[in-house]
Structure 1
Amino acid sequence: MRAIYRKHQRLILLTVSFLIPFLLMGGYFIGRQMAPFGPSSLLTVDLGQQYVDFFAYLRAALLHHPTSLFYSFSKGLGGEMWGTNAYYLFSPLNLLLLFFPGRSLTAGIMLILLLRYGLAGLNFAWLLDKTGWQAGPRIWAFSTAYAMNGWMIANQLNMLWLDALVILPLIIWGLLKLLHHGQPGTYIAWLAVMMVDNYYMAWMICLFTVLVVAWQLPTLANWRQRGWAFLRYCLSSLAAAGIAAVTLLPTIYALAQSKGTYTENVIRSRWEYFPFKMLAKLVPGSFNFDQMPKGQPNYYIGALLMIGALLYFFNHRVKWQQRLVALLVTLFFLLSFCYEPLDLLWHAGQFPVWYPYRFSFLFSCWCILLAAKTIQPGYQLSRRLAVLLLVIVAGIFAYVSQLKLSYLSTSQRVIGLSFAIISIVCLAIPRRDSPRLYELLLTCLIICDVTTSAYTSLNNLAYVSQGEFANYTSQLDQASHQVKAHDHGLYRVAKTFTRTKDDPFQGDFNSGDHFGSTLEPAIPNFMGAIGQPAGDGFVTYANGTQVTDALLGFKYTMSKRDPRTAQMPISGYRPDWNRQPVTAFTSKIVIKKNSAALPFAFGANREILNLAHTTLDPLNYQSQIMQALAGRPVNQPLFTVQNFTAVRFVNVQAAKQITGTVFKKENLLKPAYIQLRFTPPTNDSYYLTLGPNVKSDVSIRVNNRAFGQSSNYRDTVVINLAHHQKGHPVIVTLRLKKMAAWLQNVSVYWLNQRAFNASLRTLHQSPLKVTHHSSTRITGTVDLKPRQTVLMTTIPAARGWHAVVDGRPVATRTVLSTFMAIPMSPGHHQVKLYFRPPFLVLGSIISILSLSLTIVVLKRPWQRSK
């Protein structure tokens, strides 16, 4: 009966540990009227601009086309997904999103987030209960502080990392079992799960386990036991990595081709900021939007627990050797928060793009563990230490008060100081007469402290409305379904409106947009070279021409039915789509067909194999590509520079040449602009180029209407200025934003429609007639004409792609430093292209062998010396 009673008590204890953070955060979300409880949503920053679209992609992949888990043409022009998914989507909790389609996806996101809060509290309570470091209801104070620590609140929008907080207590429990009882099974299992779930956070946790091992080794009896324990730790960690090899090996290769190319090669020994500035993070609610791009670490766990962690070093019930190691570990963390080489170590050699000090959740966990070892039921603070703590607290808040920080208000400082003083008093008062009342005071104090901090921090952020997301998503999904119902083939879709750069994931269609950390650099390099907005980690097909539309297989186009519709933000201007035939439409989107679009693979001239990128002019480069593919002289351009019909200078100096001129305001108090007038002499297409400096110097209006254009680009971009507008003037107004503006590469070009059509007819002669296609396999036939000895594809070249022609494997070539091409002889050919993630087979074999060997070893008792 006693055993049943204890089991029942533990069940209640753990259940409440789950419910406290779950209900506290759920209550906040309901109070903020977040979907499904109101018109707001949890979507903000990357969660609203990136991750929500990845979740939609995952749902579509699992339900409709599983092969896209390995490769997807929705990722820019196409890219591997196994390594991408290992970073973004391998959390098992994401399977719950299968029950939340389309506009209801935000409700699924809230459910998963609340589950993570609850599971973090549950697992940390489990750790404290199993270790005996805390017992009874007081565990709720520690588990809630862990689940709602400052890192979790600041990064709840980065849902791909949050499983680390859930799994970490289980890894620590397994590590303690390994070190003290020689039982490695729990540690191996949960570390392997973490490596599969998110390799990035697993790297940080692996570094943390080294510190925990160093902290625990002094508790072992002698050096022999310590040596064996450390050896078991090393072998167990390798076993976990071996089990996770099915994701680790392909991911490591994928990273080497994408994110890994940005790894720092030069490590500088320098301080990132004045170290004492991080003391401001000891104030509750010390976080706002400005802290996201570049701020200090978020580790708030409540004043009482932070004081408890400090008191650990004065706790004589702990061996001095262990306290010394703990002090060194703490100093290592603090140095990592401000010393660049250590910061890079935690982030695997790359500076974070936004969200700095992503490992600070480990410091929060570390401090709570130290506090749990110190603030035992019989602990009482001495008067001397109480006075010392009051002096330290007064000094910290006096220093913080003189800092001018946007995320701290006077009321926050007063509340933080009050919590700190009450915490010291709480630790100093006797508790012999009223132990239960004391436990209740301690628990309530910590929970109130971290809850106040969480609510204050989240109130500093703005969120996307549910209507903004849901209405746009519904329209995009409807348009995508219309296109796929009309055409089941393999093609790309272009559009002139955008909510995020991952709209193709959200709408489940192939396009040229993507924003992600694992984007291969060749794609933004190529897209930038042809005049598209691109940068490290993102591409946007917003400024296409007739040439790029055709070459890249954009068979369908989407545009707004009513330009005044605010629900569909404009991202491009394409008058050359106006005369395309309408295929379908929704209430807000019109879908047209581009009959000039080439298939994903087509016959081309061998000249393309040797074409080098020798020009910075995107239209000249487009012309060279088209002419080389068609076997025509590349020095016969398709685009020709045109002169402006008239130019008007207002409050700037006059100039004979527009492009390359630096215009300066003559009267600093009055508006200044340059008005460019151009009257097309033909009905062909005309394009305007703008250098990357223009975006920051001027605002653009076309025919007195605001021009929708991506503001993020690093290369010269191309804008469709006119089509079928012979004799109708187009007026471009460039208004200066600053005192001066450099009109870099501002020119108008004419597309020779006749020459373009001639080259296009040549390329349409030998299309690959696709008989079957999926995300990872394309089969079909092609009849190459005599001068076409290359099967050109617009599939980005990658090691995972393989080609079989007429039943025989053939080597592929990389052309334009971007795409895959296959040299072959003229005539009829059977072609099969298939993709397999590199090292997936090898990783699977290693995982199976490692798991089998681990099971065999674990079934045999560990031989431990007495």
Structure 2
Amino acid sequence: MKNKSKLYFVLLNLLITFLIANLIAYLMEFIPLGDQSERTMLTIDLGQQYIDFFSLYKRALTEDPRLFLYSFEKGIGGEMIGLWAYYLMSPFNLLLLLFKQENLDLAVSFLTLFKLLAISSSFYYFVEKKYQLNPVVAITFSQAYCFMSYTMAYQLNIMWLDGLFFLPIIALGLDRLIKNNKPLLYIFALTFSMISHYYISYMICLFLIGYCLFVIYEDDRDLSLKQVITKYLSFIKHSFYSTCLAGFLLIPTFMSTLRSKSAQAEGQFNFILDWTSQYSILDLFSKSFIGAFDYGEMASGSANFYVGMAATVLILYYFLSHSIALKEKLISLSLLAFYFASFTFSNLDKLWHLGQFPIWYHSRFSFVVSFFILILAIRAYDKMKLIKLRQILMIILALTGFCFFYYIRTDYSFLTTEKIFYSLVFILLTCLVLYLSRKPHQLLNYVLLILACFELNLNGFLILSENDNYVQPSRFNDYITLLDDIVKPIRPQKNEFYRIYKTFQRTKNESLFANYPSVSHFGSTIEAASTQLYGYLGLPHTSNSINYTSGTLFTDDLFNIRYLVDITSNTNMYTTVDNFPLYREATDFDIRAHEKKDKEKRYVYYENNDLLGLGMEVSSDIKHTKFKKFKPIENQEKLLRLIDFDGNGQPFFKQQPFKDIDYLNLKVTSKGDGDFYTYTKEDLNRNASIALAFETKSDNPYYFTFPNQYSDNKVSLLLNSKTYDFYSPSNSRQVMDAAFGKAGKDHLLRVKLKKDSFKANLIRLYEFDLDRYQKMITKRKNDQFEISSFKENAVEGTIKMQQKEGFMLITLPYDPDWKIKVDDKEIKAQPVLNNTLMAIPLKNGKHAIKMTYFPNSIIYGAFVSLTGALLIILDQKKFRFKIKGFLI
């Protein structure tokens, strides 16, 4: 009978989670509960990154397991272990296998629901096993944990939710380790958490350092200093075992991280000395209200730690209660002070984020703070029968004053009068129910649960409704169908390799969705070599993305882009309201230099016949050639001279002057070092612009180079009175089309300011000698790598070298894990061009090249995991799995 009762409350907890999640989804009109013309859950990174990775996940598990190691669909090529470890190792992702690729938007809804059910279940299990609370109250706290503000605000980062699931199980395992010397649940829960998502698990590990002390001193157990140290050392030892067990993934991931965007983070190890304050304590506590969140908070907002008014009331009582030991309160207060200091100071914040300041989604570790707040609330609830009237009145008075204080402040866009009013109502109702709960009654427990459910549902809806950038199902389905139609006839066949570029895109990762080699990528694990290379060549990039939107004719050939797809001039005529609108990411004139192959209603194909291949012969001078920052044309010129090793050394690009520069309602107030101008409006109420006139004396391509200060929130551009599109943001100077096939024409570029003042370097103009370049490329066609066998992690082919001693330049990001054999002799690839690409030395004649990719770190990681398993076995006097001992 007792077991039936337990099962009843387990199922009740699941049912309530299911109902709240679906009610929020219904109110938000998410599929499948919303109308098909409404919303998917795809928004921001979930819609721009993860959905493409989910398609990759399905292909890797069902078609090509080599995608676990390397992919040519990731930008210009890149290792995949880091991407898998950060985005795709969740066991919940197996659910994706049940959905077709065209239904992955729907799969996201079910995946989110399953994770929410798992989160509430794990917390309920934790509370029921550790604190033996009344099951209805345990359900109340479980819902608070599941639908806290962190979950609602950041659930689009769907892979982070795994940490919320594992944390209560890890905490329960730690409790059993400390109090009963039973380590297995702790070891395996922490191991699986690290495998599922190492980044969030790192935050959990930091949290456990302090939380372990709380567990040791919980209930003020009479322990000697020696006993405390012994228990803490046991925690360290078993944490080490757990880390070792996960070594098969952590070691390769660590090596991958060293080559990803973290490798280019400046000053990342100097964060200890950075005591910059990000948010004041008032900023932080402004998040203690229902729905205290808006869209802007994603980019630069304070921590989301709200877990419901019941927890807010109870944590105040926790510190007022005389029945909770002072020693425990001091430890709790010290930990809370550290957590809130971490929200405030940059150095501590970076510590939680692996030494890097997060790009968007600040205070990603706030879920552990929410968890700890709930622990303290549970401890306080256990003492509620001792609460006095004056204590509850003090709490009501304090929280009412708190609400009134933020009501009279108008500093926070996310904190409306309505949200403060809702919060105050729930404060008063919660205080009343909790005070009446001094005399336990099951009806009051259900009232508290119902009250919390209403509050959490309101909180979730208010937070999610602040974001209106959800992808419509019809538009998503239209685009993936269109993308498949575009790529199918031009996708490389077996043992072929070339890249494909489109002037339009829905995401930078759609090549992973549609299975074709591309030249763009957006992800936290992108190789630093790729982003740096794009910066040197004048292509748009940030620390976590590359986007090929403004290539020159030379870079088209360099990156082996065979097919280019553009929108038709009348694409809008064939686009309905349910279709995804196609638009160019940037103005592209020289695409017309390529041969037009085919045209559909909404898009047109161009074919490039001047490819340089995956590898090409270059001069041995490449060993000493270095790129320069913010000199993209100069860097492209250096590459051209390396390829044109028997040429006359004359430049292919020639800088051209502007005929005239006019300032409308602007004055230059400073010229900096001579190339860094400060522009200021003369009349703040009028528009201001810079007009740059130039003449194209030939049909050659002309290119601008725009400084990286140009972004679409600072300036807009017009070329010959037509909108001139450019991609932003970009961290370096960007090369853009100025004209093509316009001999003897005058042009006017107008830069319109969106700010009252603006600082930027000057725009440059260059002409490209197309005729001479075409002759050089024709001569070089026999000097490229001819592929005979191509797979994601293995490439074979031949190259015929003309020089006595030269190099084969390979247009892949430098990665030492590529193993290369030349005529069956192993040779080490050399990093070249500021360590961005790789090259191998070759002598005159024909050579057979074999390239295979396999990271040695996998072997090292497997050895560490086996060592960890052996240590655990040796540490147990009698090692056997006792299911009853560590799972029940």
- TM-score, length-normalised on structure 2? 0.91
Match of 2:885 in 1: none
Match of 1:426 in 2: 433
Match of 2:128 in 1: 129
Mean CA deviation greater in 181-190 or 702-711: 702-711
> What whole-Å deviation, never above 9, does each CA across 1:762-797 have from its counterpart, x for those lacking one?
432222221212221111122212356211110111
Match of 1:520 in 2: 527
CA–CA distance in structure 2, aligned partners of residues 645 and 346 of structure 1: 54
How much has 1:549 moved relative to structure 2?
0.8
> What whole-Å deviation, never above 9, does each CA across 1:335-390 have from its counterpart, x for those lacking one?
22223333232222222221111111111111212222232397252112112212
Match of 2:468 in 1: 462
1:585–1:477 distance in 2 versus 1, CA, 3 Å: farther
**1:234 and 2:236 correspond:** yes
**1:627 and 2:632 correspond:** no
Match of 2:812 in 1: 795
Mean CA deviation greater in 665-674 or 287-296: 665-674
CA–CA distance in structure 2, aligned partners of residues 278 and 647 of structure 1: 49
Match of 2:734 in 1: 717
CA–CA distance in structure 2, aligned partners of residues 251 and 510 of structure 1: 23
How much has 1:682 moved relative to structure 2?
2.8
> What whole-Å deviation, never above 9, does each CA across 1:72-112 have from its counterpart, x for those lacking one?
22222222221122112211112222333444221111111
Number of aligned residue pairs: 856
- TM-score, length-normalised on structure 1? 0.93
Match of 1:750 in 2: 767
Amino acid at match of 2:594: Q
Q: How does 1:174-253 map to 2 (within 5 A)?
A: 174-218=173-217, 222-223=223-224, 225-253=227-255
* Partner secondary structure for residue 93 of structure 2: helix
1:373–1:246 distance in 2 versus 1, CA, 3 Å: same
Q: How does 1:591-610 map to 2 (within 5 A)?
A: 591-610=605-624
* Partner secondary structure for residue 573 of structure 1: coil
Mean CA deviation greater in 628-637 or 708-717: 628-637
CA–CA distance in structure 1, aligned partners of residues 879 and 862 of structure 2: 28
Match of 1:10 in 2: 6
Which residue, 823, 831, 838 being the options, matches 2:849?
831
**1:511 and 2:518 correspond:** yes
CA–CA distance in structure 2, aligned partners of residues 362 and 207 of structure 1: 10
* Partner secondary structure for residue 260 of structure 1: helix
Mean CA deviation greater in 281-290 or 467-476: 467-476
Amino acid at match of 1:719: M
* Partner secondary structure for residue 696 of structure 2: coil
Which residue, 407, 414, 422 being the options, matches 2:414?
407
Which residue, 838, 841, 845 being the options, matches 1:820?
838
How much has 1:589 moved relative to structure 2?
2.6
How much has 1:238 moved relative to structure 2?
0.8
CA–CA distance in structure 2, aligned partners of residues 430 and 662 of structure 1: 66
1:160–1:360 distance in 2 versus 1, CA, 3 Å: same
Report the RMSD for the aligned CA atoms in angstroms. Answer: 2.7
CA–CA distance in structure 2, aligned partners of residues 11 and 587 of structure 1: 59
CA–CA distance in structure 2, aligned partners of residues 744 and 677 of structure 1: 18
> What whole-Å deviation, never above 9, does each CA across 1:300-336 have from its counterpart, x for those lacking one?
1111122222323344554443333223222222322
Mean CA deviation greater in 300-309 or 167-176: 300-309
> What whole-Å deviation, never above 9, does each CA across 1:99-145 have from its counterpart, x for those lacking one?
33444221111111111111111111111112243132222111100
Task: Work out whether residues 651 and 673 of structure 1, in 8 Å CA contact, stay in contact via their aligned partners in 2.
Answer: yes
Match of 1:362 in 2: 368
How much has 1:458 moved relative to structure 2?
1.5
Amino acid at match of 1:546: L
Match of 2:708 in 1: 692
Which residue, 589, 600, 625 being the options, matches 2:603?
589
CA–CA distance in structure 1, aligned partners of residues 774 and 356 of structure 2: 47
Match of 1:299 in 2: 305
Match of 1:775 in 2: 792
Which residue, 681, 700, 711 being the options, matches 2:697?
681
CA–CA distance in structure 1, aligned partners of residues 12 and 678 of structure 2: 66
* Partner secondary structure for residue 837 of structure 1: coil
How much has 1:486 moved relative to structure 2?
6.2
Amino acid at match of 1:559: D
Match of 2:862 in 1: 844
1:792–1:731 distance in 2 versus 1, CA, 3 Å: same
Task: Work out whether residues 705 and 764 of structure 2, in 8 Å CA contact, stay in contact via their aligned partners in 1.
Answer: yes
**1:383 and 2:389 correspond:** yes
* Partner secondary structure for residue 855 of structure 2: coil
Amino acid at match of 2:398: I
Match of 1:154 in 2: 153
CA–CA distance in structure 1, aligned partners of residues 756 and 311 of structure 2: 53
Amino acid at match of 1:126: Y
Match of 1:396 in 2: 402
Task: Work out whether residues 475 and 589 of structure 1, in 8 Å CA contact, stay in contact via their aligned partners in 2.
Answer: no
Q: How does 1:625-664 map to 2 (within 5 A)?
A: 625-632=639-646, 636-644=650-658
CA–CA distance in structure 2, aligned partners of residues 184 and 586 of structure 1: 64
Identical-residue share of aligned pairs (%): 26
1:636–1:742 distance in 2 versus 1, CA, 3 Å: farther
1:397–1:665 distance in 2 versus 1, CA, 3 Å: closer
**1:567 and 2:573 correspond:** no
Task: Work out whether residues 659 and 745 of structure 1, in 8 Å CA contact, stay in contact via their aligned partners in 2.
Answer: yes
Task: Work out whether residues 568 and 602 of structure 2, in 8 Å CA contact, stay in contact via their aligned partners in 1.
Answer: yes
Match of 1:45 in 2: 44
* Partner secondary structure for residue 362 of structure 2: coil
Gaps of 5+ in 1: none
1:585–1:128 distance in 2 versus 1, CA, 3 Å: farther
How much has 1:515 moved relative to structure 2?
1.8
CA–CA distance in structure 2, aligned partners of residues 682 and 201 of structure 1: 57
Match of 2:280 in 1: 274
Match of 2:487 in 1: 480
CA–CA distance in structure 2, aligned partners of residues 225 and 276 of structure 1: 40
**1:737 and 2:743 correspond:** no
How much has 1:654 moved relative to structure 2?
12
CA–CA distance in structure 1, aligned partners of residues 735 and 373 of structure 2: 54
CA–CA distance in structure 2, aligned partners of residues 366 and 659 of structure 1: 53
CA–CA distance in structure 2, aligned partners of residues 199 and 167 of structure 1: 12
* Partner secondary structure for residue 454 of structure 1: helix
How much has 1:447 moved relative to structure 2?
1.9
1:635–1:414 distance in 2 versus 1, CA, 3 Å: same
How much has 1:627 moved relative to structure 2?
1.3
Match of 1:19 in 2: 15
Amino acid at match of 1:127: F
How much has 1:838 moved relative to structure 2?
4.3
CA–CA distance in structure 2, aligned partners of residues 615 and 259 of structure 1: 17
Q: How does 1:753-768 map to 2 (within 5 A)?
A: 753-768=770-785
Match of 1:537 in 2: 544
Amino acid at match of 2:164: L
Mean CA deviation greater in 755-764 or 619-628: 755-764
Match of 2:577 in 1: none
1:652–1:427 distance in 2 versus 1, CA, 3 Å: closer
Task: Work out whether residues 691 and 715 of structure 1, in 8 Å CA contact, stay in contact via their aligned partners in 2.
Answer: yes
Task: Work out whether residues 530 and 621 of structure 1, in 8 Å CA contact, stay in contact via their aligned partners in 2.
Answer: yes
CA–CA distance in structure 2, aligned partners of residues 653 and 429 of structure 1: 71
CA–CA distance in structure 1, aligned partners of residues 132 and 337 of structure 2: 23
Amino acid at match of 1:7: N
CA–CA distance in structure 1, aligned partners of residues 360 and 282 of structure 2: 21
Task: Work out whether residues 47 and 158 of structure 1, in 8 Å CA contact, stay in contact via their aligned partners in 2.
Answer: yes
Mean CA deviation greater in 104-113 or 322-331: 322-331
CA–CA distance in structure 2, aligned partners of residues 7 and 235 of structure 1: 36
Task: Work out whether residues 599 and 767 of structure 1, in 8 Å CA contact, stay in contact via their aligned partners in 2.
Answer: yes
Match of 1:265 in 2: 270
